[in-house]
Structure 1
Amino acid sequence: MNWDVAHRIAGIAAIQAHRDLDVDRSTYVRVHGALGAAGLIGMAKSMPRLFGVYRSPDDGGPAVLLNARLDVITQRHTAAHELGHHRLAHRSAYDNELDPSLRWGNGSWPDEEKVAEAFAAWFLMPRPAVLAALERIAGGRPTAPEHAYLLARALGTSYTGTVRHLARLSQVDRGRAEQWLKITPATLKRSLTRGAAVSPDAHVHAVTTRMHGRRLHVDAADLLVLHPPGALIDRLPEALSLWPEPGDRIGTSSLEHPTIVEVTHGMDTECRLALSVPGTDEPLEVTLVRESPRSGIDEIWP
């Protein structure tokens, strides 16, 4: 089976899964909740090599085991991959070293793994959610790799997987997608922070006027770049700090030097960030939701 066939099968299966599991296709997909809604027993524990494990009903399942050592984005993708195995009635699977950023499309994947991998992309990035996020980020189609990176942040997906999916959705041509894939996320993070060095483990999010009323999924050490020119932070939540140095004043954004705030480990589940923007009567409000890697049994389902 080639990847085009795998994606055709997976795309249909993902739409059916969204319908059956009552998943909102217009926004960030809560994949761990979907696993629970699908009736899967699940847990996450530290494992040295495995990304995840799916146990079929024939082997005492259905159940999923995720690697608690994975970062948020990789664990979300793995959870969707294992859900794909379940929804497509696959055999039990032990997914190790199937890293799409290293081995994508090299012919070594078994057919069931190809379809499960494609399912993860379509499940986490449904077309309505992609188009809605692109409207906020780019005013329509993406024209720069930074748009693809910010789309990945909005959907909780990897930059590489998001660029490939944009090509699948015909939002960028394949030639441009291949060019963007040569650009590292580290380069894009420097671009978004105006040249600042960002931790490899941190993600960068852009807060614009189009984000008003939205929920932004973040984790500790992530950075929020405040783009509205002249915006003032009404009150900096305790879970956030000015970056790179807090200083003794509340930041003001400009096009040349946007204010950047960092999510601290003090953030529990969510907090609200409010900005006063010149020329508007109402504050710009964004709800930040901490999306950390799941661990154990009780914490795997939200």
Structure 2
Amino acid sequence: VLLNAKLNIVTQRHTAAHELGHHQLRHRTAADDDLSPALRWGNGSWPDEEKTAEAFAAWFLMPRPAVLAGLDRICQGQPTSPEHVYRLARELGTSYTGTVRHLQNLRLLDADRARQWAKISLAALRSSLAGGAALSAEAQVHVVTTSSHQQQIHVDVGDVLTVRSAGAAFVSLPKGLARCTDVEQAAVVTDELGDPVLLEVSAADWDEPVRLTVVRDAPRTGVHDVWPD
């Protein structure tokens, strides 16, 4: 399986899972040059092999136990807003639209609400979650709560970590994380982040600081960089 090194990590993971589905389902050799589930799924343009590989990818990346555990941490098991789905997607390393669709497959979201939520502006949703912090086009937002304790958060350069509790603050910021100048309770991932780092967040109404590990998704290198001419 060959993947485009210029794709973001979420798209790479999904593409790899899709191609693994082709292999597990013993499909023929093929090149998927332009398969966009968000644009083409359900309009009749996909052959059956692509549909089944796509279904494999969804269940492989979002197995029901992982989805239920994530929803339990985020919203006591019941998603009631697009924010909950976005945060679940960040935990699972999946796309927002794909997660909405899969929640409907799992019967955790009704069809009408899934259609409505799939159409919302992701840029506006990310900006709202980040508290208005400046975001690059590819940046993701990771919300830190008490349920984040002892979790790993996988980030990329430009991503923003934000704390959603009154009076909460970062105890200190390790190298590779910098405070957002426009939002007090947010930090941005910089290119200085190398090895995984421990982040601590405290709040007056929390019994103890929340400690989580921030892991940078490795820079994606193409074959021309690994095996130069």
> Does the aligned pair in 2 maintain the 1:240–1:267 contact within 8 Å?
yes
CA contact (8 A) 1:68 1:293 kept: no
| Maintained 8 Å contact 1:72/1:292 | no
In structure 2, distance between residues paired with 1:145 and 1:292:
28
CA distance in 1, matches of 2:126, 2:212: 21
| 1:81-106: CA deviation from partner (whole Å, max 9, x where unpaired) | 11111111111120111111111111
Q: Cα distance, 1:123 vs. partner?
A: 0.6
Higher relative contact order (CA 8 A, sep 6+): 1
Q: Which amino acid aligns with 1:288?
A: V
> Residue 110 of structure 1 aligns with which residue?
47
CA distance in 2, matches of 1:269, 1:91: 40
Deviation readout 1:150-186 (Å, 9 max, x if unpaired): 1111111111101000111111101000000110210
1:201 is aligned to: 138
- Structure-1 separation of matches of 2:16 and 2:181: 33
**Pick aligned residue for 1:261 from 187, 192, 201:** 187
Does residue 237 of structure 1 match 2:163?
no
Shift of residue 113 of structure 1?
1.0
Equivalent residue, structure 1, for 2:152: 215
Q: Tell me the alpha carbon deviations over residues 41-73 of structure 1, each in whole angstroms, 9 at most, x when there is no partner.
A: xxxxxxxxxxxxxxxxxxxxxxx1111011111
Q: TM-score, normalising length from structure 1?
A: 0.71
Q: Which runs of 5+ in 2 are unaligned?
A: none
Q: 2:150 & 2:26 partners in 1: Cα distance?
A: 39
Q: Structure 1 residue 281: deviation in Å? A: 4.4
**CA distance in 2: counterparts of 1:200 and 1:82, whole angstroms:** 27
Please give the alpha-carbon distance, in whole angstroms, between the structure 2 residues aligned to 1:187 and 1:281.
33
Q: Could you list the runs of 5+ residues in structure 1 that have no partner in the other structure?
A: 1-63, 246-256
Deviation at 1:227, TM superposition (A): 1.5
1:137 — aligned with what?
74
1:113-133 Cα offsets, whole Å, 9 max, x none, are 111111111111111111111
- What's the counterpart of residue 61 of structure 2? 124
3-state SS of paired residue (1:274): strand
Give the superposed CA RMSD. Answer: 1.8
TM-score (normalised: structure 2): 0.92
Q: 2:2 aligns with which of 53, 56, 65?
A: 65
1:71–1:210: structure 2 CA closer, same or farther, 3 Å change rule? Answer: same
Residue matched to 2:220 = 294
Task: Name the structure 1 match of 2:105.
Answer: 168
Shift of 1:80: 0.5
Larger radius of gyration: 1
Deviation at 1:293, TM superposition (A): 5.6
Q: Is the alpha carbon distance of 1:293 and 1:122 closer, same or farther for their aligned partners in structure 2, counting shifts above 3 Å?
A: farther
Q: How many residues are matched?
A: 225
Separation in 1, partners of 2:188, 2:159: 6
User: How far off its partner does 1:296 sit?
Assistant: 4.2
